Structure 1
């Protein structure tokens, strides 16, 4: 809760870890706008296998990210991150040299198995003080959106220069660059421990998985990334069939992505500042669904397709920004890291299901079948969303209260909860941190600072 700024060491940690995150996410996103076209010439190709190749990284990412994060608690963050980035580089090299669709699937599977996101977040938590940790996490989180925007434009350009094999080689180089950043620029923490705000805790899974409000959000992010990945099984083909040659696809993606980011920002601000989170989320899901219905009927006409893509990505960017905020507002204060871990795994499972289902449906029913399937799932998500509770517009905060026993922790929770503006408190005996949910408009920070050591 200190007003002081992040130290140079904390800033270096946040920026360098964001760089590692960005190199990895860029490597995953670059092939999305180009792979479906490239795969048509691979040996053994079928529409279903194209979809599997696009989405398979999500399966291994979902399976390994939480275990890798827990492993980093035992053997250290940096060894796990290095191993994950090496797996990603090896998978990229295999995909680059493959001339069969099965070879690419093997490579993409290995790419996803280098699941280092949880370990990176844990390392960021090790290297930042509690009061500045949200800033570091925000810097790292922003790299996802920026990487996606760059990849949508750069993917088709790079495809024209070096082809998809060249893109896979580039992703391998980016992974190795991430290792160099880790070893050279990222500080080594004095000690590593479990951070409830940033990591999954095994004892909390039952509570998190039994929370129906959190499960609504987990289902939502699964559907969001299912729809995105299924879309990229067919959108590059639809753009080509509508008359836009593949090397020029960036000329559409660039204005669409800029327009979509600009269009989403006012609604993100309204959702938070005017406390309109639920209606704006419901509206965003509806816009996604209407876009998919439009794709069903207009996917073979260029200008309608371009307009629908703009609307889709406004809604997609909006949901990508608001969903993590909803998780943070909904999860029990002591289980935020676990809730985010399950949420992230759901996101990657959605990417896998979307790729596999999108490919299979495209093979049987064409593009319209894929878009209709997505619209039906979005309708199901919309029905769940309208029944969710209004979120509490509270902020998360942490105070380092130092070592204490369970009796003192329980006593301290009561004392902190009596402070104006503190709505929820949990004091961890194992880490000496008070995890709080506060109302920023009411909080008495001077009173709260009395408990900080």
Structure 2
């Protein structure tokens, strides 16, 4: 819900910029290792492809285990305290890995990096800092910062590794987290309140119902499979590039144009999926394309032009799915359950990263790097079977309506009044938060009727 005259307040702007920068710097530190670890780990004592894969995905295990507890802990101890603690754990993990002389210590360092699982606490702090009217735009900024961080990491990681080696990359990530502490301390204002937000945080009362919804589980499996494939592929892809004459120091310059062109190609597909309501065919087509690309990596990866074309296609599909899967979660989650659905979704993502590194390392060590792509293609085929019969998601948007004093005085009839508005498909009224969570069909929504209930002007958002 966004008032037509709403503006970002100074404190909101500071919070959005600061927390987006904090989130991006943290994700940049995690992603930078992805394109270089397999290539630069050969000097470590005990290094094997399996253990390198475990180091690559190890952060995902601790992240998956601890992200929900950290979010709940932030409700008790305070957002900034928990975020600062998570950043300190990330710094400690980076320093441990930077000083490692064996692969086992790198694995410990990566797990410590992941244990600073503050994503949920950051999103909760952003919700505390922003009004309901502008929260959708604030969350979108965080999402954009993650995408930018991934692209930058693919370029910067190889460049930093060329200068300082694997140790230099971990020292760089430690410095990024130290900057994050400074941003948290100096730029992000103190939250005026600390509340539960059902659009952001996990509600344990809704967890069982969320886990029983088949369509949401398909999307949880989708993000699990996507990050499994991503992490597994980077056990092998750097070696394929090196075998075709691309020096490790130049891998960043390979990824830069490929990522840029992939982003350009991805945007029209997102528009087709969202604006023209072709979400299911675009989604299923992307999964099928990913499976074929993985087979192509195995069969055609010895040709330079073919490999670059496949790499471009891989990033088109990856970026497309990274952009559309959260949108589909938002469409399918019941009113007021988006935060819970996203919590399960994020846990699935990190588990996928962990198992992808482990599986990729095991296949590479046992059967060679080409088997990594074949194994990933099998996962892609299973993924395609899982989503093939998935019904097309309804194009519903999540909206948050702040309740004024007059609305709060009519709680006994408010639910029925919201439900009677054309285009409102689902509603949950939460008196303790003084908001109502709606799922609406924007093409059918009677904005004037909704405004009469809320006392606010209504304007489309991009939830």
Q: TM-score, normalised by structure 2?
A: 0.95
* 285 and 203 in structure 1: CA distance in 2 versus 1, 3 angstrom threshold: same
* 247 and 414 in structure 1: CA distance in 2 versus 1, 3 angstrom threshold: same
Aligned-pair CA distance for 1:412: 1.0
2:159 corresponds in structure 1 to 157
The whole-number CA distance in structure 1 between the counterparts of 2:441 and 2:9 is 26
1:14 corresponds in structure 2 to 16
1:170 corresponds in structure 2 to 172
CA contact (8 A) 1:131 1:397 kept: no
1:217 corresponds in structure 2 to 219
- Post-superposition Cα deviations, 1:67-98, rounded to whole Å, max 9, x if no partner, equal 10111111110000000000000000000000
1:361 corresponds in structure 2 to 363
CA contact (8 A) 1:93 1:107 kept: yes
The whole-number CA distance in structure 1 between the counterparts of 2:411 and 2:211 is 26
The whole-number CA distance in structure 1 between the counterparts of 2:334 and 2:151 is 33
Q: Secondary structure at the match of 1:427?
A: strand
1:42 corresponds in structure 2 to 44
Matched ranges for 1:115-264 at <5 A: 115-264=117-266
2:461 corresponds in structure 1 to none
CA contact (8 A) 1:222 1:349 kept: yes
Q: Secondary structure at the match of 2:433?
A: coil
The counterpart of 1:294, out of the listed 292, 296, 301, is 296
CA contact (8 A) 1:333 1:425 kept: yes
RMSD of Structure 2 on Structure 1 (CA): 1.6
The whole-number CA distance in structure 2 between the counterparts of 1:403 and 1:370 is 59
CA contact (8 A) 2:211 2:217 kept: yes
Aligned-pair CA distance for 1:441: 2.5
2:345 corresponds in structure 1 to 343
Aligned-pair CA distance for 1:404: 10
The alignment status of 1:311 with 2:313, answered yes or no, reads yes
Q: Secondary structure at the match of 1:393?
A: coil
* 26 and 338 in structure 1: CA distance in 2 versus 1, 3 angstrom threshold: same
The alignment status of 1:372 with 2:370, answered yes or no, reads no
CA contact (8 A) 1:400 1:433 kept: yes
1:328 corresponds in structure 2 to 330
CA contact (8 A) 1:409 1:428 kept: no
CA contact (8 A) 1:397 1:437 kept: yes
* 410 and 166 in structure 1: CA distance in 2 versus 1, 3 angstrom threshold: farther
Q: Secondary structure at the match of 1:389?
A: coil
Unpaired runs of 5+ residues, structure 1, are none
Aligned-pair CA distance for 1:407: 11
Report the more deviating stretch, 300-309 or 105-114.
300-309
The counterpart of 1:389, out of the listed 388, 391, 401, is 391
CA contact (8 A) 2:401 2:435 kept: yes
2:460 corresponds in structure 1 to none
